């Protein structure tokens, strides 16, 4: 029943349950945001609902921005070993995404 909904790699029952809870919470939050935007649209200044939607659902940082942040953290040495490995992995992914010139 849930196989089509749960992404590949979410195999064990607890991880699957937590993923589903997270998705249900996000769907409820999205529904509330849309209701607020509709309400604002009725008698507000133009683009208020779009500004609210953008503020509450910002786009995630690009891989380039993530890599630059990771590089800065590595350069100033603020991470523990685990975080440093994650940062280096982010930088590696960004470099692999570059075209071969």
Quote the CA–CA distance of 19 and 10 in Å, as a whole number.
8
pLDDT band at 1 (very low <50, low <70, confident <90, very high): very low
Torsion sign across C-alpha atoms 54, 58, 62, 66:
positive
Per-residue model confidence as pLDDT tens digits over 55-101: 888 888 999 999 999 999 989 888 788 888 899 999 999 999 999 87
* 0.75 surpassed by pTM: no
């Amino acid at each position: 029943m849930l196989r089509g909904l749960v992404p590949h790699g979410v195999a064990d029952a607890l991880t699957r349950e937590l993923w589903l809870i997270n998705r249900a919470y996000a769907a409820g939050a999205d529904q509330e945001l849309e209701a607020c935007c509709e309400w604002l649209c009725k008698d507000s200044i133009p683009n208020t609902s779009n500004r609210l939607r953008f503020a509450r659902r910002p786009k995630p940082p690009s891989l380039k921005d993530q890599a630059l942040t990771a590089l800065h953290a590595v350069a100033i040495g603020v991470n523990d070993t685990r975080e440093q490995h994650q940062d280096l992995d982010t930088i590696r992914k960004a470099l692999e995404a570059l075209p071969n010139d």
